[in-house]
């Protein structure tokens, strides 16, 4: 979720030739390069697929009754802490991966639609990204089910579904809205501050780890409609699914509106990690 470079200036969005900032190319592939855009759409699908594979695999290790790790860890908070660390590292790793550097590492329809609202993603690209994220996430968890021979379907794991906790649906909705607002606010603040923008992925990973550790008992910790859909589909469990579609999007759009109204700095790009030599397919605001 970042646009990192030592010196940057906003430019008018529109058709332009590739630009270079500190030796980094900042062209716009979405105009006239459909093949490259398609490749990045597939990277988005694969990225969320890998995230779901990681979630399913670590959930089996930490929660399946037959797992020695699950048997040794009797404190739920310790399991959540380890799960949070695993998924935080997964998120950061995907953001800084070669695919993440090219696609922008959204892996989340709420993130993509927020950057659409901010004018940094073209509508057709946003549509393709959202579809890819839903398909990729579902394929990822289904692959875990196939490879694990059904271990991920055990009730203790249950395809890592996200459902409200004991506090109920209103609390889950507010919690999802709050963590989504917090995540996107941090992403927009860090990614648009050139001296620290390269650490956007680190910040996002730390937040994911913290939210899983402390917030998961309230809502299951999703922040991502495609992630929740991927789990609900094979589990046939759609309890309060509306929360995981609406709350993350509302929360992240709120963060965007606050950013537009309170910050003097423009949102420059939809990439989470921009300080790399990969061409940018978005409506990029980095100048020469």
Contacts of 188 (CB under 8 A, 6+ apart): 1, 255, 256, 259, 263, 267
Query: How many angstroms separate the CA atoms of 114 and 109, rounded?
Result: 8
pLDDT for the residue 194: 86
Residue 276 contacts residue 25 (beta carbons within 8 Å): no
- The two three-digit tokens of residue 143, written as one number: 């692959």
pLDDT for the residue 120: 92
Go through the domains of the chain in sequence order and give each one's CATH number. 19-262 (1.20.1080.10)
- The two three-digit tokens of residue 282, written as one number: 């978005």
Alpha helix stretches (DSSP H) within 64-197? 68-72, 76-96, 98-103, 109-117, 123-147, 169-191
Residue 128 contacts residue 218 (beta carbons within 8 Å): no
DSSP-assigned letter for residue 268: -
Residue 252 contacts residue 187 (beta carbons within 8 Å): no
DSSP-assigned letter for residue 210: H
Q: H or E segment at 4?
A: none
pLDDT per residue as tens, the chain (288 positions): 434 333 233 333 333 333 333 233 344 444 436 667 788 999 999 999 999 999 999 999 999 999 999 999 999 999 999 999 999 999 999 999 999 998 999 999 999 999 999 999 999 999 999 999 999 999 999 999 999 999 999 999 999 999 999 999 999 999 999 999 999 999 999 998 889 989 999 999 999 999 999 999 999 999 999 999 999 999 999 999 999 999 999 999 999 999 999 988 888 888 887 777 777 778 777 653
Q: Report angle CA 115, 36, 197 to the nearest 5 degrees.
A: 40
């Amino acid at each position: 979720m970042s646009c990192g470079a030592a010196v940057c200036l906003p430019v008018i969005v529109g058709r332009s030739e590739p630009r270079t900032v500190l030796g980094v190319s900042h062209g716009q592939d979405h105009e006239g390069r459909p093949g490259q855009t398609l490749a990045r759409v597939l990277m988005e699908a694969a990225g969320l697929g890998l995230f779901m594979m990681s979630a399913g695999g670590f959930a089996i290790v930490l929660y399946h009754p037959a797992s020695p790790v699950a048997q040794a860890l009797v404190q739920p908070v310790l399991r959540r802490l380890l799960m949070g660390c695993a998924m935080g590292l997964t998120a950061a790793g995907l953001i800084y991966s070669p695919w993440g550097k090219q696609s922008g590492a959204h892996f989340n329809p709420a993130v993509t639609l927020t950057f659409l609202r901010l004018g940094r993603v073209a509508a057709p690209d946003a549509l393709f990204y959202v579809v890819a994220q839903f398909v990729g996430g579902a394929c990822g968890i289904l692959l875990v089910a196939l490879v694990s021979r059904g271990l991920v379907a055990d009730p203790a794991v249950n395809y890592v579904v996200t459902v409200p906790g004991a506090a109920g649906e209103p609390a889950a909705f507010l919690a999802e809205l709050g963590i989504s607002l917090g995540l996107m606010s941090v992403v927009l603040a860090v990614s648009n501050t050139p001296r620290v923008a390269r650490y956007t992925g680190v910040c996002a990973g730390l937040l994911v780890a913290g939210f899983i550790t402390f917030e998961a008992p309230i809502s299951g910790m999703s922040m991502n409609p495609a992630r929740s859909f991927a789990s609900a589909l094979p589990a046939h469990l759609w309890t309060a699914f509306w929360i995981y579609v609406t709350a993350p999007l509302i929360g992240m759009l709120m963060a965007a509106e606050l950013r537009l109204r309170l910050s003097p700095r423009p949102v420059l790009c939809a990439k989470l990690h921009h300080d790399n030599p990969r061409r940018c397919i978005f409506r990029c605001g980095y100048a020469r």
